[in-house]
Amino acid sequence: MKLLNKELEKAIATAIRRAQAAAELPEFEIPYIPVSPPRRADQGDLSYPAMGLAKLARRKPIEIANLIKERLPALEFSCAVEVAPPGFINCRIADDYLRRQVDNIIAEGEALFQLDIGAGKTAQVEFVSANPSGPVTIGHARGAVIGDAMARLLEAAGYAVQREYYYNNAGEQMVKLGESLRLRYLQQLGELVDLQAGYYQGEYLVDVAAELAAERGDSLRDSGWDYFRDAAEARMFDWIKRSLASIDIAHDAFYNETSLFESGKIWRALDTMRDNGHIYESAYWAGADADEIADVSAKGYQPATWFRSTTFGDEKDRVMVKSDGVPTYTLPDIAYHRDKLERGYAVAVNVLGTDHFSQAQVVKHGLRALGLDPAPIHVIFNQMVRAVRWNEERGEYEAVKQSKRAGDFDTLDDLVEMTSADAVRYHMLARSPNSQLDFDVDQVVRQSNENPVYYIQNAYVRCAGIFREARERGLDEAGADLGLLRADELQFIRKALELGNVIEQAVVNYEPHKLAFFAHELAAVFHPIYDRVRVLHSEVPLDTAKARLRYYRAAAVVFHRLLRLMGMSAPERM
């Protein structure tokens, strides 16, 4: 289906070129000025602000708008184009065009507003990417939902999408994980050993240790931490995959940071940066002041390998390899992203916590130091999330701590158990990732319009209920005269046609939360119309009932498409 805002933008560009050819406007490169809905419904459905052309055209905006209107080519979807001060070109969508879109929506079905922005291109979304040292936490869950929704949107825009999980099974964290499981295993054998401070205290390792003891008896008594690390990793990933699958998320690839060392990609990246003049050896960074140098000298620090990231606008240079020869986490990150670019993705999206902001900038500096353009890489940063409940006695929300097996944090499994997969998917997406999120576990399970999940899904459920009853009565849509649809139904179709633009903007601006916003807006248009527009009432003539049934069929297609783009289910009953 056509994006009407894009159709109007193209028509306006044509009109401007016509006016320029007629010497009514001076020659200038036409800037991109987006068409969007006007602020007030009585001003039309689409609006173009010609004020943005005033300096280029050296004319008053109202004069420019009138010139464009006069030169505008015919628009199949418009019944009226009007000019309003100080220079808006407002377009109204014709009722007949809206009626024709009912059949078009139904025909497109699951491919409704499938765009071609990414046709023939590949994209990658890397998300979650937590080390396999424990279950998926509530914090990880937000990034998981944002990442998967972004992947679904990119697919809707025509990209072939790969979902990737990047992790590290080496390093001190995994040593502690292996040693923690080893000690838990020995406890299962009856040995009196304690976990030291800083080790993994979560009860989930007790479960894993019990499984190992049941399977292997005491045959692992003399095994080292590395065996237990591998055993823990395998079981943690099984758990992680099951948890993500519970909210309809699956990754296509798991990329291990260790492979960057084994393949030599880390050292090749460092050599290239050195060859390009961006690496130096020193005990302190090149911009250190006298106090910093004195401090380093007093502590006897040995030379390390530094990246001259200040060349690319960083506030200070960064250590790539410590004086003991061990790389910092920055160097593998740069090598990993080099690998991404070499795989040829037109778009590579990373979903990261806000605490990774500085690191993400350094990685882009590193790519430039490698002679690469980091433009394909886009980062969506998400803030913290916590589960909360209202405390009547205190008169405030307080954090919920429900996990019995995970130590000192709540898991995605806990949240799904307390609420539902659909509630998790919607509410993790329903606010901008840049804002902190309090997940109200009481609100999201209410069967009322106060619960946006219920509110949106119930729109689809209401359509499904109409279809069931219509089948029971032997009513179908054959020969439906859509000319009988009136203002209420057309109001919904008019709003539904914005979905294509919402998908486009969410993809172009990497804002998957816009889907959740639009879904709620669309449901708010639908429900009052449902209360007024009856299909099976005895006073509704047969031909009108058929037309309305066809309308509800289109509404169901739109809501189903929206729900699946958000990774939510479309239940037939609630």
**CB neighbours (10 Å) of residue 539?**
6
| DSSP for 124-166, written as a single string | EEE-----SSSPPBHHHHHHHHHHHHHHHHHHHTT-EEEEEEE
Domains of the chain: 4-93 (3.30.1360.70), 99-114+450-565 (1.10.730.10), 172-246 (no CATH)
pLDDT of residue 401: 62
In which residue ranges of the chain is pLDDT below 70?
A: 401-409
**CB neighbours (10 Å) of residue 245?**
11
- The shares of helix, strand and coil residues in the chain, as percent rounded to the nearest 5, are 50, 15, 35
Q: Which of 455, 434, 432 is nearest to 443 (CA)?
A: 455
Strand partners, 380: 351
pLDDT of residue 448: 82
Cα distances (angstroms) measured from residue 35 to each of 38, 42, 67, 339, 434: 9, 16, 17, 38, 26
* Strand ordering across the sheet containing 437-440: 396-399, 385-391, 437-440
Amino acid residing at 424: V
Going by their DSSP bridges, the two strands 396-399 and 385-391 should be labelled as antiparallel
Chain segment 79-110, per-residue pLDDT in tens? 999 999 999 999 999 999 999 999 999 999 99
**What is the rounded CA–CA span in Å between residue 488 and residue 124?**
41
pLDDT of residue 201: 83
The length of the chain in residues reads 574
The pTM is what? 0.93
**What is the rounded CA–CA span in Å between residue 70 and residue 82?**
10
Q: For residue 497, report the phi and psi dihedrals to the nearest 5 degrees.
A: -70, -10
**What is the rounded CA–CA span in Å between residue 312 and residue 365?**
6
pLDDT of residue 404: 40
What tokens were used for 357?
């902001």
Which residue stretches of 398-451 are H helix?
Answer: 412-418, 421-429
Residue whose token pair is 């219920």: 454
pLDDT of residue 408: 47
- Burial bucket for residue 140 (CB in 10 Å: 0-12, 13-18, 19+): buried
pLDDT of residue 126: 98
